[in-house]
Structure 1
Amino acid sequence: MDEKLRDISVLIPDGEDNMLLNVVYSLSLQSNITIYVLSSSKNHYMKYSRFIEKFIFKEETDEREWVESINELVERYNIDLIIPVFEIGFRKLIKNKTFLRHKDKLCLLPSLENFDIARNKYSLYEHMESNNIPTPKGFISMDGNFNNSKKIDFPLIAKPVVGFNAGRGVKLISSQNDAVKYLEKNSYGCAILFQEHIVGFDVSCNVLCKNGDILFHTMQKRSSVTDKKNRSYQLGFNFINDEQLLNTIDNLMKSLDWSGVANIDCRFDINDKAFKIIEINPRFWVNTELSALYGVNFPYLYCLLCLNKDIKPLDSYNNSNFLSLKGLFIHLKHNPFRLIKLKYLWSCSPIRFVMKDPLTTINKFIWRMKNVLSQA
């Protein structure tokens, strides 16, 4: 990866999603990447980013028209590679790739069947059960009735079978009465998966695969950064390595013949002394840019892999504690003297991106304030 490469032009066709920031910031660490963005959000805060060569707005249309817009942009700007950032964009490209005029410019992707297994929590649960991949026991409610046919002890974890960001809809259920109330209020438009609650701790694993083989991975465990309302590895975490977990993830990705990126949520069961797979997010993830600062730049490696460039494994990694931007602000609130450690802040938090791309940060703040005021 150290050899000088020619410039690579990348088109991100689902630039309306907020995961765009994480991917663009990761790619901005490489001087040979030129980023073009197609978005159905006219006023997205990322349109102001200095890291984006051109932000193209086009009103949301049907999937065929969206693909035709991609075709036009690929030819107009001589795009080398098409890479989406969020699962909706990934699925639309997998489903409609036959309509691309330059299919060789599309990033590596899994099959539609396996993608849909991965993104549906109950389909994934059944897949893991049939492939002997450790996962919490569970059952599904499709008709709004609670039927604990497997007699799993409370507490249970309830969640919609299709994804919602930031854990929306996920709830700890302590009794049958709680479960009935949860189902009565179900407004997610899908079935609900109930699973046993695992006593232990969370670990997230990120992968880049080709035909089921994991080429690059990172694992992160939540660190002690907290606020009064929640506690999350999204605020602060350490990168770790665990062979047992890697073997489990390897079996899972092979069973899905996975190609591309994915983020896998896992939990260590302190009673069974084993990791169990919770779910797969078949997309990029929050804090992708911190994986890049750690030493594994998934979006850039994805580009190199799809363009058949030689990829050499890294010899060393940044082993510090990493903080998200929110985690950094909370940490500085409790320990302002951390500001003195400028080298740490630069290498282990998103502060470098904020300083280099201030207009994006300002407009993101304005965008969030408008959303808060509109919901008040």
Structure 2
Amino acid sequence: MTKNNFSVLITVGENNLLMFVVHCLSQVKGIKIYIIGRKEFSDIKHSNKISNYTYYPNLNDGVNWVEGIKKEIEKFNIDLIMPIDEYGIRKTIKYRDLIVPLCKVVILPSLESFDIANDKELLWKHMQEHEIPCPKTYLSSEMLNEDIISFPVLIKPIEGGGGKGIFTIKNKEAYRDYFLDNKINYSYLIQSYITGYDIDCSVLCDKGQVLAYTIQKGTLVGENDFVPKIGVEFLINEELLAIVKKLMLSLNWSGLAHIDMRFDKNDNTFKVIEINPRCWESIEASEIAGVNFPYLHALKSLNFEFDKPKYKQIKYLNLLGLSKTFKNNKWFLFNFRFILNNTPIKYFKKDPLPLLYIIYYKIKSLF
């Protein structure tokens, strides 16, 4: 086994995250990529960059999950287990001791730290305790007391990411109406709305120390303000990085994470909104900018040394961003250098089938 020649088993990944991670790992030609999933039909099965996709229908059960991974390790002589979503990461942390005798596992946080990062209420309490700048958050016990809430606010699910289930309440009347409609329960929390702009930081850490990072600011919005941005720009900002380093150290974090932040125009500070304790949708953008997070995560986990990477301050558009830009400016079609170098087109040129299957099934669903 060398830095450019080893095998990785990606466990129980979400379909959209799978493709992004495969694109990043496949930039290193000697890596063999295996996938174990819960779905029989997966677009990534058709990728020419993976060595095998195995479907196990009963992976929700902990025992079956471990047994499925053991079978894949023995069948393909796997060097490294790499979970990429919340489900797979939590399972791997929980059952790590049953896997490690057979195979190495990527560095991961403790179960306590993972659960704090994955639960917005627990994270807010943690940040208050460690003096990490963050927006005012109202806990579930305070949600029915509208008099203590300063509007506007955001309503958010306590767990989960990707902008799902988030919306804005502008005043007390709207807040009252929302509760009267019984559309909310105590699995949500309330966070003060910050006037400013979104900016994120992606990291690879080991025991709280940041080994690699990128900072990206959204330049193009998707279907709403809360879903991942479809266009980003990479920036350098030492003030923001210092906050992220303090946060990761307070959690003694190991592994990958994507920290959603917001610049507050009222007091000119950066505030931590939430942590995605998993791989993220713009992980391809970081690879194009110069930081291949899945590969570096694998190297560190296999005890290979690497220099702290530097990234280019470039702009990036994903496929939705590219489509939206075309609609707004037909001449952008002739910006060949940007399209080939600053979008996912470079990946699909070499591995087109997964995207073609996605397009096929979307068209089929219309009829």
Please state which band the TM-score falls in when normalised by the shorter chain. Answer: over 0.9
Cross-structure match for 1:238 = 233
Aligned residues: 364
Match of 2:298 in 1: 303
Residues 58 and 64 in structure 2, CA contact (< 8 A), matched pair in contact too: no
Partners of 1:346 and 1:76 lie apart in 2 by 38
Residue 312 of structure 1 aligns with which residue? 307
User: The residue matched to 1:166 in structure 2 has which SS?
Assistant: coil
Provide Cα deviations, 1:130-177, integer angstroms capped at 9, x if missing partner. 11111111112259x52247x3421111111111x4312211111223
Indicate yes or no: 2:7 matched with 1:12.
Answer: no
Is residue 79 from structure 1 mapped to residue 78 from structure 2 by the alignment? yes
Separation in 2 of the partners of 1:5 and 1:122?
A: 40
Mapped contact 1:45–1:367 kept (Cα < 8 A): no
Q: For residues 209 and 370 of structure 1, do their structure 2 counterparts lie closer, same or farther at Cα, with a shift above 3 Å needed?
A: farther
Question: Could you tell me which amino acid in structure 1 is paired with residue 16 of structure 2?
Answer: N
Secondary structure, counterpart of 1:257 in structure 2:
coil
| Structure 1 letter corresponding to 2:162 | A
CA gap 1:45/1:133 in 2 versus in 1, 3 angstroms:
same
Letter of the aligned partner of 1:7 in structure 2? N
**Shift in alpha-carbon separation, 1:17–1:347, aligned structure 2, 3 A:** same
1:342 deviates by 2.1
Residue ranges of structure 2 left out of the alignment (5+ in a row):
none
Equivalent residue number for residue 285 of structure 2: 290
CA 1:181/1:84 → structure 2, altered by over 3 Å: closer, same or farther? farther
CA distance in 1, matches of 2:362, 2:303: 40
Q: Are residues 1:172 and 2:168 paired?
A: yes
Amino acid at match of 1:334: N
Using the TM superposition, give the Cα deviation of residue 371 of structure 1 relative to its aligned residue in structure 2, in angstroms.
5.8
Alpha-carbon distance in 1 for matches of 2:87, 2:179: 26
User: Is 1:367 the counterpart of 2:361 in the alignment?
Assistant: yes
Work out whether residues 81 and 103 of structure 2, in 8 Å CA contact, stay in contact via their aligned partners in 1: no
> How well do the aligned residues superpose, as a CA RMSD in angstroms?
2.1
What's the secondary structure of 2:27's corresponding residue?
Answer: coil
Deviates more, 1:122-131 or 1:234-243: 234-243
Deviations 1:35-70 (A, max 9, x none): 000011111111111111101111133111111111
SS at match of 2:263: strand
Paired-residue identity, % = 38
Structure 1 residue 196 corresponds to structure 2 residue 195 = no
Within the candidate set 236, 239, 249, 1:254 is matched to 249
Partner of 1:124: 123
Q: Which position in structure 2 is the counterpart of 1:153?
A: 150
Instruction: Name the structure 1 match of 2:330.
Output: 336
Change in 2 beyond 3 A, CA 1:73/1:104: closer
Contact 1:17 1:86 in 2 (8 A): no
Q: Provide the TM-score with structure 1 as the length reference.
A: 0.91
Query: Quick one: structure 1 residues 183 and 37, their matched pair in 2 at CA, closer, same or farther if it must change by over 3 Å?
Result: farther
**Partners of 2:178 and 2:216 in 1: CA distance:** 31
- Secondary structure class of the residue paired with 1:247: helix
Structure 2 length normalisation: TM-score? 0.93
Q: CA deviation at 1:206?
A: 0.4
**Residues 1:97 and 2:96 are matched in the alignment:** yes
